[in-house]
Every structure is written in C-alpha cells, then in structure tokens.
Structure 1
Amino acid sequence: MEQVYIKVTGLEGRDRLDKVISNEQGDTSRSQVQQWIKEQRVKVNGNIVKANYKCTDGDEIIIEIPEPEPLEVIAESMVLDIIYEDEDLLVVNKPRGMVVHPAPGHMTGTLVNGLMAHCQDLSGINGVLRPGIVHRIDKDTTGLLVVAKNDHAHQHLGQQMKDKSTTRKYEAIVHGVIPHNKGTVDAPIGRDAQDRQKMAVTDKNSKDAVTHFNVLERFNAYTFVECILETGRTHQIRVHMNYIEYPVAGDPKYGPKKTLPISGQALHAKTLGFIHPRTEEEMEFTSDLPEDMTTLLDDLRRNEA
C-alpha cells in the first residue's frame, strides 16, 4: 500500500477535499478520489473526513492508496500500419478511433493489444498497460508514434522527448481564417478546473507548453495549418488552437458543435524525427493525411472555386 502526503498551499479561500486531491494527483479521477474518501483511506490533519470537507492552506492530507488489482493485457491480432521496424523500435501510423494503450474499463482493441500480438519484445518501463509506449496521440488523432522494444531504447527516446530534440509536426484544419502566416503559442497547460476530462491554459498546476504553427492554406471559414510541437502536453495542439480562437475542426472536446463532417478532430501527426538510440542516426518519417482529411480539403477547395 502506497502512502501519499499532500500539504495544501496556494488556495484562495477554501476548496473541496476531493477537488484538491484530484488536482494534486494529476492522473487520478475525482470519482476515484471520492471512492478513497468513502473507504476512509484519506485523513486531513489526522482525522477521517467526508469528500465535501473544505480544505484551507496548511491542511495536511494523507492518502493510503491501495495496491492496484493485477491487470493482464491480451494480445490481439490486428492489421497495423507499421512503416519502420528494427530490433530496438518501430514506428506505426495510428488510425482514427484507436486508443493507444489499455486502461481499466477499456482493456481491448488498443494499439498496445495489437503490438503485443505483433512482437513480444516491448520495453517494460511504463508497466503492464503501456509496454513500449514512449509518447501518445489521442484516440481520434491520426498519425505517427514511435514504440520502444527495449528499456535502453525507451530511455533514450524518452530523454529526447524531455530535451525537446525530437521533431513532431502535425497538420490540422482549424476554424477561422488565420491572418498571419506563422506564429507561436507559449501558454502553460494544466487540468481544467471546471472539467477534469479537459485540459486548459492555466497558471495552476500547469506545465510549460509551446506550439509553433505555419499556415499552409486558407479557405472562407477555415485554415489548413502545420503545427510543430516544442513540448508534448496532453491535448496540446487542441488546447492551444482553441486558446487563440482557431479550434481544430471536428474536435468534440474543444471545438464548436457544428463543424465539418469528420469523426473526431481534423488533426494528423504527419512527421516524426529522432536520433536512433543504438546507431545514433538521424531518422525522420512522414505519413500521408488520412482519407477523411484529404476529402475535407478537396471539398473546401471546390467550394472556393
């Protein structure tokens, strides 16, 4: 059993205990925190309290987190678009609608399930649910990601991500007509205080996030852009483009409801570059836009004629 200690600081006034804990434990849902409180696994200043307890600065919280139930990821045979593979890594082109790795309640049909059927030698750094996964792209974002086959490759690639030395270029169709040809969004991203399922530009519990963009093509009400990641925060491009009021078309979480006919955000991880962890060779891969985005662009061009 793991014991977590939190000292409450930086509150303006008072805030609910479950909200404070879920903000501090970034990957923990509020419902999970409420379950811990219900099971009396949470104490504030040495006392058992309820979820609606209002925290204040200086409160000391101790959480006894139970050991996770053992989970087994099942290998599933599926067609994967692998564009490069060697003894250390592989680069895969992920389709729209595919989740990258399993999570409780969603244990099958993910990229990891398919990878485990394709090869048994995936790195174990990220544990049983995320073997080999160095970085992720969202379920309805298409495109490239690199997968590590051993721990050395995983650590090497992970350090490159941390050092911001990888190349990650995306293409997107966004709402609105961007008047300038290029720009940079430098705005920290953290969990949305109003909706735990969303991220937002915020100064609270956030991390630096930088996205560069170039305009590729303009239409009457949309712009086709290239976005270059300097950092890799959750939902970064989607949050940043919405923040500057050019949300990604089709984005169900950050964009307008009435949008272009596409199932999910019109966002594609087109280019991925890194130094090979064994040969130290510079490698760069590109993938074509998915058919649904190509169709959208063709339709927008025809409407312009």
Structure 2
Amino acid sequence: MKFVINDNDKRTVRRFLVQHKFSSSQLHNLKNKGGQIFVNHRQRHFNFGLKTGDEVLVVLSNEKPSDLIEPMRGPVDVIFEDDYLLVINKPPGIASLPAKARDGKTMANLVKAYLIAKNENSSIHLVTRLDRDTSGLMVFAKTSYAHSLLDQILHTEDFQKFYLAMIDGQINPKQGLIDLPIGIDPQAFYRRVIDYKNGKESKTLYKTVAHYPKASLLELKLLTGRTHQIRVHLSAIGYPIIGDDMYSGKKDQRISRQALHCYNLRIVHPVTKELLNLKAPLPKDMVILKGVLRGERNG
C-alpha cells in the first residue's frame, strides 16, 4: 500500500505507521516476517526519518491462510474490488462461513478459491456476514491491516448498511427507530430474543418505501450489528419478514426463505477515503415475490 507524507504526518517510519493504525502485531510481522518498507523507492527501516512529499510503499508479509477454510471453486459475484477490499453479492441459501471445520461450501470457501486463482493473499478476513438465507452485499478485507481499519469504522456513519425486507401488512408509523435489546434465546442457542435484562443494545432504523395491497417493502439501516437483528426487531413489533419461519412461526408458500436483502453499502474507504456507494439488485425470488404482492387483492 502506498502513502504520501503530508505536513501533519509523523516523521519516522514507525511513528507514521502507528499513526495510520498499524497494530503492534502488524508492525512485528513487517519487521520480522518478510515485510518491506520503501521510501522513495529505497528500502528503509522503522527509524528512518520522513519529510513532506516522501512516497512510502509498505509491502506486507505474506499471511499464512487457515487450513480450516478449504478453497472451493464456484461463482463469486464481485461488486467492488481493489487492493484492500472485496465486496461480493451473496446469493440466498449459502452460509457466510463454515459453522465448523470443512462444513460444506460457504462464501468464505468460494472467495478463498477466487483469491488463489488471482495469485493473491488467500487469508480470509470476513468483515460483514449474512445469514444463510439472507442475500446481498458482503465485505471481505484482503489483509489483516485493511480488516483492522474496517473494524474500527464498522458501526459508524463511515460504514452504513441498508437492507430491503418484505412484510405482510403496513407499519404505523411508516418510519421510525426500533430500539430493543437483543440476547440469546435460553431455549435455543441459535435463536435471538428481546431481552431487557441481559440483552445488548440494538437499534434499527426503518422506513416504508413501497405499499402493496396487503404488504410493504421496507428499507432498514443497521445502527448496531447483532445476530438476526432485523429479523428479531421486525418480529418483535409484530411484522416478521415474509418467509422467515424461525421468527414468524410459519412457512410461507410465496418464497422459500426470509425476504431480506442487503442492497446498499456506503463505506468511506479506510485507505483512499473515497466514498463507496455499492448496490446489489434484488435477487430473482424477491422480484417474483414483489410481483405476487402487487397482484394480491385486499379482502
């Protein structure tokens, strides 16, 4: 990764890297595990003095990929990619990560094979994950450094996540904030519940973007990042997502999974500072469901 020194930057390589949020372990790896630092195309050490206008190139040491995630070939729908980030559009019906070692094909397995085919670092750094039956945008970092930078902005206005969900009925008011703490269901570890005693603060903004005769399309913005947050919140206020049998308690003939899609990410790139406004179109099953909902009659 490349940097240009400006007037406000620290004046030694080590202090500059710390200023730019390299962790102690990343600095250790740079020094002791094959990393390299070039200033104006000449290799330098941590104590080298910097001046305004210097060009700094940091070549990270190779990361050893985990054997727990096996590369598996398959389609990867890339929405955005550079030296730091990979943003993909996940289809429904595939998990983000293996639940245990070598647990079938997941997006992590597919992304690892994708990176290997490009001769890139194939260590998996998952920044955002989606439930198996939720579709849409997922973010992977390409290095531990990019991962740590993204983690620092993950639940701030520099990293905004927007979803589309389809529900039966019409929420009143049409937009608002759901502020209900979420905890683990004591009866089933994989479920989440509203838990006022032990739950973690959880906030979801919602607004209605379309009405159908007996249903609605909502846009939701996550302000926190709890497991199943949107699903639990909408169920708690009486409007579970269509197809979400875990939280609605019923199967739906109109779609075979919860009608939930991460359609938009707005990220201030942690290195280039560019605003990324990334979108993924509604998948086919939700487009079909929208047509069904439009055609349903009241009464």
Unaligned ranges ≥5, structure 2: 1-65
Residues 157 and 274 in structure 1, CA contact (< 8 A), matched pair in contact too = no
Across the two proteins, how many residue pairs are aligned to each other? Answer: 230
The equivalent of 1:154 in structure 2 is 147
Tell me which of 85, 102, 114 is aligned to 1:118: 114
Helix, strand or coil: the match of 1:159? helix
Residues 122 and 132 in structure 1, CA contact (< 8 A), matched pair in contact too = no
Q: CA deviation at 1:105?
A: 6.2
Residues 74 and 108 in structure 1, CA contact (< 8 A), matched pair in contact too = no
Residues 249 and 260 in structure 1, CA contact (< 8 A), matched pair in contact too = no
Q: CA deviation at 1:71?
A: 5.6
The equivalent of 1:167 in structure 2 is 160
The equivalent of 2:74 in structure 1 is 78
Residues 123 and 154 in structure 1, CA contact (< 8 A), matched pair in contact too = no
Residues 219 and 304 in structure 1, CA contact (< 8 A), matched pair in contact too = no
Tell me which of 128, 135, 139 is aligned to 1:142: 135
Residues 125 and 142 in structure 2, CA contact (< 8 A), matched pair in contact too = yes
Measured in 1, the distance between the counterparts of 2:241 and 2:275 equals: 31
Q: CA deviation at 1:123?
A: 7.7
Q: Say whether 1:87 aligns with 2:79.
A: no
Matches within 5 A, 1:218-297: 218-297=211-290
Residues 242 and 255 in structure 1, CA contact (< 8 A), matched pair in contact too = yes
Tell me which of 86, 89, 96 is aligned to 2:92: 96
Measured in 2, the distance between the counterparts of 1:80 and 1:281 equals: 24
Q: CA deviation at 1:221?
A: 2.9
Residues 122 and 148 in structure 1, CA contact (< 8 A), matched pair in contact too = no
The share of aligned pairs that are identical, in percent, is: 37
Q: CA deviation at 1:72?
A: 2.7
Unaligned ranges ≥5, structure 1: 1-69, 125-130
Tell me which of 155, 163, 181 is aligned to 2:174: 181
Residues 183 and 199 in structure 2, CA contact (< 8 A), matched pair in contact too = yes
Measured in 2, the distance between the counterparts of 1:190 and 1:204 equals: 9
Larger Rg computed on CA atoms: 2
Measured in 2, the distance between the counterparts of 1:252 and 1:106 equals: 27
After TM superposition, the score normalised by the length of structure 2 is: 0.72
Residues 134 and 258 in structure 2, CA contact (< 8 A), matched pair in contact too = yes
Measured in 1, the distance between the counterparts of 2:251 and 2:273 equals: 47
The equivalent of 1:62 in structure 2 is none
Q: CA deviation at 1:122?
A: 5.2
State the one-letter code of the partner of 1:118.
Y
Measured in 2, the distance between the counterparts of 1:250 and 1:111 equals: 22
Measured in 1, the distance between the counterparts of 2:141 and 2:188 equals: 33
Q: CA deviation at 1:145?
A: 1.2
Q: CA deviation at 1:303?
A: 2.4
Supply the RMSD in Å over aligned alpha carbons.
Answer: 1.9
Query: Mean alpha-carbon deviation: is it higher for 71-80 or for 208-217?
Result: 71-80
